[in-house]
A = this chain, B = another copy of it.
Amino acid sequence: MKLNQATDYAFRAVYYLAGLPKGQLVEAKLIAEIEKIPLRFLLKILRSLAAAGIVESYRGVSGGYTLAKEPREITMKDVVEAVEGPIELNRCLTDPGECNKNHTAHCPLHQALFSIRQTLNKELASYNFADLGKN
């Protein structure tokens, strides 16, 4: 039960961008160096973040990346979901066909897992990238 490495890299990249003056462009290469992330892998992650509307990308000579919204409007949950999709906890929860007991709705175990997932999502959503630094 863990988040993957790409998500951790994404946290760092977004956190880095959040620390810059609003709208400032930074090339992936620089982020990769500072945050010690393999460049090509970072580029891939940044595309997911762009697709999710978390960062904006600009091509060409002085292109690069910048946040697509205020740091305060970006939560850890947003980043997790951008990179690895929504949290599932258990196959059955999202795809009833996967539950070989077919009782997603009635089973107390599934009810508990559902509730735990909600708590986890809320917790992740409670951290935004403006407040993260201020501890």
* Cα–Cα distance between A125 and B108 once the two chains are bound (Å): 15
Interface residue stretch chosen among A22-30, A46-54, A86-94: A86-94
Of A11, A35, A92, most buried by chain B (CB within 10 Å of CB) is A11
Interchain CB contact under 8 A, A90 and B132: no
Of A12, A101, A112, A113, most buried by chain B (CB within 10 Å of CB) is A112
For residues 82 through 135 of chain A, which have their beta carbon under 8 Å from a beta carbon of chain B?
A: 84, 87-92, 100-101, 108-109, 111-113, 116, 119-120, 123-124, 127, 132-133, 135
Q: List 14 A-B contacts (CB under 8 A).
A: A1-B2, A1-B80, A8-B92, A8-B109, A15-B108, A36-B101, A108-B132, A108-B133, A109-B132, A112-B127, A116-B123, A116-B124, A120-B120, A120-B123
